[in-house]
Amino acid sequence: MRLLRIVPDDTKFDFMRFRRVSFPISAMLSIIAIFLYFHPGLNLGIDFRGGTLMEVQSKTGPADLAAMRATLGGLNLGDVQLQQFGADTDVLIRIAQQPGGDEAQRAAVAKVRDALGTNVEYRRVEVVGPRVSGELLSYGTIGIMFAIGGILLYLWFRFEWQFALGAMIANVHDLVLTVGFMSITQIDFDLTSIAALLTILGYSLNDTVVIYDRIRENLRRYKRLSMPDLLNSSINSTLSRSIITHVTVSLALLSLLLFGGQAIHSFTATMLFGVVLVGTYTSVFIASPILIYLGVGTTRMGASEPEPEPVGAVPARSAAGPRRTK
Amino acid sequence: MLFFSRWKVVAVLLTAFVVCLCAVPNFFPEKTVQAWPKWAQRHIVLGLDLQGGSHILLQVDVADVRRQKVEVLRDDVRRVLREARIANTNSVRGNTIEVKLREPNDTAQALPKLRELSQPIGGLLNTTGQRSVDIEDAGGGVIRLTLTDAAVLERTRQAVEQSIQIIEHRVNDLGTVEPSIQRQGADRILVQVPGLQDPKRLIEILGKTARLDFRMVDQSMTPEQALQTRPPPESEILYGQKDKQPYLIEKRVLVSGADLTNAQPGFDQRTNEPIVSFRFNSNGARRFAQVTTENVGRPFAIVLDNEVISAPVIREPITQGQGQISGNFTVEQATDLSILLRAGALPAKLTIVEERTVGPGLGQDSIEKGKLASYVGSAMVIVFMLATYGLFGLFANVAVAVNVAMIFGVLSLLGATLTLPGIAGIVLTVGIAVDSNVLIYERIREEVRAGRTPITAIDAGFTRALATILDSNITTFIAAIVLFFIGTGAVRGFAVTLGIGIVTTVFTAFTLTRLIVAWWVRQWRPQRVPI
C-alpha cells in the first residue's frame, strides 16, 4: 500500500523570509480584532449578561415565529429575541435581564410559559440572575489570566525565558484573533466560549512547544548555524507532524461541528477557528521568528565546534543514544 | 526504549486492562448492575444536559440573616437591662443597636451585663478570637452594640447548613431520584435534580421559607379601618393567600410551625375537600389547648410566610394536639404544604439566583448527536491514520481505542459526570491522541532518512519524541485544570474529559504504543520501517 506523504521528505521552505510579511499582517489583524471587540463587540450570552434563554419546540408542526414574536412582544418584558434553532420546529427565545433582581427573572419565565401555553415543549430553560452573571464573567476572565500565567511559568521552567515570552506573545495573539472572530460572527459568548478559549490556549501552545522543542535541540547541536536557518530547519522538520496532527484535529472538530448538534455549535466553530486556522499559522509564522527578536541564540556564535550538516534531523553517529533499559 | 522487562509488560497491560474494565458497568442496564457487588457498580453519571433535569442555585439572603440577628440581639439587650432594672430606650440603625440609659450613672453597671451578650465566634472549642458583638461606650449614658461581620457570616453558614437539611427533606419528599444538594461558597446551595418533567413545582417548593404561625385575628377594628388609619401597634395587616383579602392579625405568635411533629395531606371527612392534617408536639399541644380554650368563638389565623391561609373561628377547645388546615387547596397544594410543614421552616429567606433546566427530549437528542459525532469523527481519524501510516497507523488506532476505553474507565472510577461538551472533549482527545503517535512516527521517519537502521531509528524516534509529548501535553493540562475550577456543570464536564484524556494519552504513548511497536520489531525483525 502506498502511504500518504503530505509533506515531501526534503522540504526546505524558507519560512523565515515571511516574517517581514507575517508580523505586519498579524499586527494589523490584531488591531482589527481589538477594534471588532469594541464594535460591534462580543455578543454576551446570558451566562455573562444575565437574563433568560428558552429553547422551545412546537408540538404542532413548524413554529410560527411571527405569531410567537407578537405574543411575547405584548408581555412587556423589554428586549425579547426569537431565533430559529436547528430544526424549523425549534425556537430559541432570549429575554433580556429584567429590572428588579433575581425574583423578577423568574416572573418573566412564568409569563412566557403562560403566554405560549401547552402547544410547545420546553426543551431548555436557563435563567441567570444578575449576581451570578457578574461572578461568572469575572471568574472567566480570572481563569484565562491564571491559565496564561500558569503556562508561562511552566514554559519558563522548561525553556529559557525568551521561549516562554515568545510563546505567550503568540498565544495572546491567538486569543485576540479568536475574540475578533467571535465579535464579527456574533457567536454567543458564554461559559463554553471560555472553555473554547482555554482549549485554544492549550493546543496552540502544544504546537508551539513541539517546534520550540526542536529549536532547542538544534540550538545545542548546530552551534554555528545562523538563527533564521536554524529556525527554518526546525520548522521544516516538524512540518509534516504539524500538518498531520492538524488534519486529525480538524476531522474530529469538523465531525462535532456537523453532527454534534446546535448546543455545541458555537463551541466547536470557535475551536476550529482558533486551533486549526490561527494556532497553526501562529506557531510557524509568529512564535518561531519572534525568537530572533527576543535574542535567542545570540550567545552561541563563535563556538569552536565544527559545523555538522543540517540535513533532515540527526546525524546517525552522534545521536545513537545509549539504549535505556527502562 | 524498545526493551521491556517481563514484569513491566505485565504491569502495563494489566493497568490498561483493569482501567478499561472499569468502564464495563456503563454498558449494562442499571437493574443488572445493581445486583453486582458494590465495588463493581461505579459508573459514569450522565450530566443534566444529557439526561434532562434541573440545576438550581439558591442563595441565602444575608440581609435577612442580619436583620434576624439584630432583632435577636435587641431582644437580648432589652431582657438583660430589664433584669438589671436599668431604665433605657434603644434604637436600631443598620447593624448597630444604640442604647440610651435614662441615668448615665448606670453605665458602669450596664456595661458588664451587655458584654455578656458578646460571644466568641466559633464556639468555645475552636475560638478564632473574634467576638459576635462590638460594644462601645459612647459616653453620656449611650452604649452602642454592633453586630460584627464575623457573627453574620457564622450565622449565614449555619443557616446554609440547616437549609441544606431542610431542602434535602423537601426534595426527597417530592419523590425525585438521586437529587444532589451541595453547599457552594459561603452562602449558596446548589440543588441538582435529574430527570424532572416539570421543574415548576420543585422551584415553588425550594423557594418557600415555610414559616407557619398560628395567631389570633385582631377584632378591635375591621381590616378596612386599619388600612385607612393605621393598625394597632400589636397587630399588622396580612393578605390572604388565595382571596387576597386584607386581614388584621395580631403580631404575637401563639404556636409556631416548629412545634409540629407531623403533617399529612388528606380529605375532609364531610366536605371531601383536600386538607392538611397536623399534629403538635407536647409543648405545642399544651399551648394550643390553652389558647383555644380561652378564645372559643373568636377567629384565629393560620399564617404561612406572612400570608393568611385561613382564618377559622374556634368552635371548641382543641386539646388533642392535632388539627387540620383547609384553605381551598388542590390535592397537589395540600401535598406540597404538608411536605413543607414536615421539613420545617428555612432559617432565612432563599433566593433562586440561577436556574438551568433541560427537558428529557433535548437530553436524548444531545446523546444521539454526541454519539453520531463521536462515531463519524473517530472513523475519519482512523481512516486517515491508516492512509498515512499503514501498519503503524493501525498501531496508533489500537492505542487510541484503548485510550478512549480508558477515559471511560477513569470516568467511571471517579463517578464523574459526562456532559455534551464532555463528549466533545473525548472526540477532541481522539484527534489529539494520535498526535503523540504522529510525533513518534515522524521522528522515526526522520531518523530513517538520517541513515539509521530500522531498529535504532525506531528506538531514537521514541526517545526523542516522548520528551516533546510530555511538554506539549502539560500546557493543555494546565488549561484543563483552570477550566475545571472556574467551570460549572456542562463546562466542567469538558474540563474533566479533556484532563483525563491527556493523562491517558500520555500513558498510552509512553507504554502501550511502545509495547506494540517493540513486539512488532521482535516478531518481524524488519529490514525497513514501513512508514
- Give me the total of CB pairs closer than 8 Å, taking one residue from chain A and one from chain B: 272
Residue A301 has pLDDT above 70, yes or no: no
Average pLDDT (A19-28) is: 90
**pLDDT for B402:** 93
Residue A8 has pLDDT above 50, yes or no: yes
pLDDT band at B132 (very low <50, low <70, confident <90, very high): confident
pLDDT band at B524 (very low <50, low <70, confident <90, very high): confident
Q: Do A129 and B479 touch (CB under 8 A)?
A: no
Residue A1 has pLDDT above 70, yes or no: no
User: DSSP letters of A308-320?
Assistant: ---SSS--HHHH-
Average pLDDT (B480-495) is: 85
By C-alpha distance, which of A253, A5, A7 is closest to B425? A253
Contact residues, chain A, for B474 at CB < 8 Å: 154
Average pLDDT (B524-530) is: 82
pLDDT band at B39 (very low <50, low <70, confident <90, very high): confident
Interface mutation vs chain A, best among B7, B354, B498, most A CBs within 10 Å: B354
Q: Find how far residue B154's CA is from the centre of its chain.
A: 19
Q: Is B5 exposed, middle or buried (0-12, 13-18, 19+ CB in 10 A)?
A: exposed
Amino acid in position B335: T
CA-based nearest distance B418→chain A, Å? 14
Residue A159 has pLDDT above 80, yes or no: yes
Interface mutation vs chain A, best among B478, B481, B528, most A CBs within 10 Å: B478
CB of B276 within 8 A of CB of B338?
Answer: yes
Q: Do B353 and A131 touch (CB under 8 A)?
A: yes
pLDDT band at A26 (very low <50, low <70, confident <90, very high): very high
Q: What gap in Å lies between CA B403 and CA B276, rounded to an integer?
A: 57
**Crossing angle of helices B360-389/B420-449, nearest 10°?**
10
Q: What gap in Å lies between CA A236 and CA A228, rounded to an integer?
A: 12
Q: Which cell goes with B143?
A: 452604649
**pLDDT for B123:** 61
Q: Which cell goes with B216?
A: 389570633
C-beta neighbour count of B476 within 10 angstroms = 26
**pLDDT for B21:** 87
Amino acid in position B492: R
Say what percent of chain A tops pLDDT 70: 91
Residue B459 has pLDDT above 50, yes or no: yes
CA-based nearest distance B47→chain A, Å? 14
Close Cβ partners of A61 (under 8 Å, ≥ 6 residues apart): A89
Which of B381, B447, B488 minimises the CB distance to A248? Answer: B381
Residue A296 has pLDDT above 90, yes or no: no
- Render pLDDT for B272-303 as a digit per residue (tens, 0 to 9): 889 999 999 988 899 999 988 998 889 999 99
Residue B28 has pLDDT above 50, yes or no: yes
**CB of B331 less than 8 A from some CB of A:** no
E-only strand ranges, A161-208: 188-189
Q: Which residue has the higher pLDDT, B122 or B199?
A: B199
**pLDDT for A4:** 75
CA-based nearest distance A94→chain B, Å? 14
**pLDDT for A177:** 94
Contact residues, chain A, for B494 at CB < 8 Å: 192, 195
Which of A132, A203, A217 minimises the CB distance to B476? Answer: A203
Say what percent of chain A tops pLDDT 90: 25
Residue A122 has pLDDT above 60, yes or no: yes
CB of B59 within 8 A of CB of B191?
Answer: no
Q: What angle do CA A227, A229, A231 make, to 5 degrees?
A: 65
- Render pLDDT for A49-86 as a digit per residue (tens, 0 to 9): 889 999 999 988 888 888 888 888 888 888 888 988 88
pLDDT band at B151 (very low <50, low <70, confident <90, very high): confident
**pLDDT for B128:** 66
CB of A286 within 8 A of CB of A235?
Answer: no
Residue B42 has pLDDT above 90, yes or no: no
Contact residues, chain A, for B359 at CB < 8 Å: 121-124
Q: Which cell goes with B64?
A: 435577612
- Render pLDDT for B247-272 as a digit per residue (tens, 0 to 9): 999 988 888 888 888 889 999 888 88
CB of A309 within 8 A of CB of A315?
Answer: yes
- Render pLDDT for B47-57 as a digit per residue (tens, 0 to 9): 888 888 999 99
**pLDDT for A324:** 42
CA-based nearest distance B80→chain A, Å? 39
Say what percent of chain B tops pLDDT 90: 25
Contact residues, chain B, for A269 at CB < 8 Å: none
Q: Please name the residue of chain B whose CA is at the shortest distance from the CA of residue A1.
A: B390
Average pLDDT (B199-220) is: 87
Q: Do B424 and A260 touch (CB under 8 A)?
A: yes
Q: Do B475 and A102 touch (CB under 8 A)?
A: no
Q: Please name the residue of chain A whose CA is at the shortest distance from the CA of residue B352.
A: A102
**pLDDT for A319:** 40
Residue A255 has pLDDT above 90, yes or no: yes
**pLDDT for A304:** 42
**pLDDT for B189:** 94
Looking at residue B301, what DSSP letter applies? Answer: E
pLDDT band at B175 (very low <50, low <70, confident <90, very high): confident
Average pLDDT (B462-467) is: 88
Q: Is the pTM of this model over 0.90?
A: no
Contact residues, chain B, for A154 at CB < 8 Å: 474-475, 478
Average pLDDT (B431-453) is: 89
Bond prior to B231 in cis (omega within 30° of 0): no
pLDDT band at A281 (very low <50, low <70, confident <90, very high): confident
CB of B28 within 8 A of CB of B40?
Answer: no
Mean pLDDT for chain B overall: 88
Question: In terms of DSSP H, where are the helices of B487-512?
Answer: 489-507
pLDDT band at B197 (very low <50, low <70, confident <90, very high): low
Average pLDDT (A166-172) is: 90
Q: Find how far residue B326's CA is from the centre of its chain.
A: 34
Q: What gap in Å lies between CA B530 and CA B8, rounded to an integer?
A: 27
Q: Do B472 and A205 touch (CB under 8 A)?
A: yes
Close Cβ partners of B177 (under 8 Å, ≥ 6 residues apart): B194, B195
Average pLDDT (A129-154) is: 88
Q: Which of A35-39, B32-36, B472-476 has the lowest mean pLDDT?
A: B32-36
**pLDDT for A322:** 43
**pLDDT for B398:** 93
**CB of B365 less than 8 A from some CB of A:** yes
Residue for cell digits 496564561? A148
Average pLDDT (B1-18) is: 85
Contact residues, chain B, for A246 at CB < 8 Å: none
What ipTM was predicted for this assembly? 0.85
